[in-house]
Amino acid sequence: MDANTAPLMQQVYTQLKAVDLVLSGEEFSEQFLNRSRSTYSLRKYQNKDFTILTAIQCVRALRRCHFRPQLTTQQQQVLADVEAQLMQYLRTQHHIAEVC
């Protein structure tokens, strides 16, 4: 499975890891999905995507990341791109227009 056909959750993780915003799937699960350490690896194994709740949690976590000190321009761009991808996913797949 290539990066373009992988579930969005895997694409998001790969993008964040590429710019060192996460170091592992466990960290991604806890810090961005607000779930147990094994969530990402289990969903990846099952080839499943975000649930509505995990997608919303991830958007909120991405927004909090913008306040981290010393983010590089590349990291800021990835945060913005990933948030846009998740909001598009929520709009098209779940008819959710906005996340507070």
* Residue of 10, 32, 36 lying closest to 21 (CA atoms): 32
Within a domain: 77: yes
- pTM score, whole prediction: 0.91
Within a domain: 36: yes
- Counting residues of the chain whose pLDDT is more than 90, the rounded percentage is 87
Within a domain: 2: no
**pLDDT confidence band for 1 (50 / 70 / 90):** low
Q: Can you give the residue range of the structural domain that contains 35?
A: 8-94
- Distance CA(62)–CA(22), nearest Å, equals 11
- Distance CA(57)–CA(17), nearest Å, equals 18
Within a domain: 100: no
Mean pLDDT (the chain, rounded): 94
Question: Is residue 12 predicted with pLDDT exceeding 60?
Answer: yes
Residue for token digits 């913008």? 66
Tokens for 56, please give them. Answer: 């919303």
Within a domain: 40: yes
As for how many domains the chain has, the answer is: 1
Within a domain: 81: yes
**In terms of DSSP H, where are the helices of the chain?**
8-18, 25-31, 39-45, 52-65, 73-94
Within a domain: 1: no
